[in-house]
């Protein structure tokens, strides 16, 4: 009986570790596989922004009800934060580490484009953090505008564009 409990505990521990590890790798691995879908990542960020906006609205509505359903408020807060973290992951682990390559500063045009993309990604991270910290819906248009500017800087003015 004791052996069976030990085996069951070991299997459960392995499942917990696998689930936890798989959640950490969801943005994109850092193995140079060459499989990239840049437009999909932009679309994913856009969908995460939409979800953050919906969560902000739901938090506001639910917070004004009487009595307040704190369980639902907390669920929307957690959901909002989860989607903000997804944006962070795509920006950091996909674009910054895999897709944006450092350029030679002596090539002024290329270096200027590189700096523009870095700045836009930093702004995206900054305003995502602000959205995570609050329910300020004025952040949503800023996030959308920055994402649009980044997509234009990254792909060029014509979309769709393969990279």
Its sign, for the CA torsion 90, 93, 94, 95, is: positive
**Mapping DSSP to helix (H, G, I), strand (E, B) and coil, where does residue 92 land?**
helix
Q: pTM for this one?
A: 0.78
Q: What is the full per-residue pLDDT of the chain (163 aa) written as tens digits?
A: 556 555 544 444 444 454 444 444 444 565 566 677 999 999 999 999 999 999 999 999 999 999 999 999 999 999 999 999 999 999 999 999 999 999 999 999 999 999 999 999 999 999 999 999 999 999 999 999 999 999 999 999 875 544 4
Which structural domain, as residue segments, surrounds residue 133?
36-155
Please give the pLDDT value at position 14. Answer: 44
Tokens linked to 29:
């691995």
Domain count for the chain: 1
CATH code at position 89: 1.20.120
Best CA proximity match to 88, nearest among 37, 142, 130:
130
State the DSSP string of 1-51.
-HHHHHHHHHHHHHHHHHHHHHHHTSS--SS------HHHHHHHHHHHHHH
Residue 27 lies in a domain: no
Residue 85 lies in a domain: yes
3-state helix, strand, coil in the chain (%, to 5): 75, 0, 25
Contact status, residue 49 vs residue 80, Cβ threshold 8 Å: no
Residue 142 lies in a domain: yes
How many Cβ atoms are within 10 Å of 80's Cβ, its own excluded?
23
Which residues, 6 or more positions from 104, have their beta carbon under 8 angstroms from its beta carbon? 110, 111
Residue 162 lies in a domain: no
Residue 26 lies in a domain: no
Please give the pLDDT value at position 22. Answer: 45
Residue 126 lies in a domain: yes
Residue 70 lies in a domain: yes
Which residues, 6 or more positions from 143, have their beta carbon under 8 angstroms from its beta carbon? 49, 52, 124, 127, 128, 131
Residue 15 lies in a domain: no
């Amino acid at each position: 009986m004791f052996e069976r409990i030990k085996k069951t505990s070991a299997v459960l521990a392995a499942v917990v570790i696998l689930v936890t590890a798989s959640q950490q790798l969801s943005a994109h691995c850092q193995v140079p596989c060459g499989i990239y879908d840049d437009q999909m990542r932009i679309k994913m960020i856009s969908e995460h922004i939409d979800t953050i906006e919906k969560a902000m609205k739901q938090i506001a509505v639910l917070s004004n009800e009487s009595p307040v359903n704190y369980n639902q408020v907390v669920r929307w807060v957690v959901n909002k934060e989860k989607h903000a973290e997804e944006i962070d992951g795509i920006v950091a682990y996909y674009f910054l580490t895999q897709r944006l390559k450092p350029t030679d500063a002596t090539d002024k045009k290329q270096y200027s484009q590189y700096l523009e993309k870095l700045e836009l990604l930093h702004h995206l991270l900054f305003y995502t953090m602000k959205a995570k910290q609050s329910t300020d819906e004025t952040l949503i248009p800023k996030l959308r505008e920055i994402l649009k500017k980044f997509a234009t800087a990254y792909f060029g003015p014509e979309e769709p564009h393969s990279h």
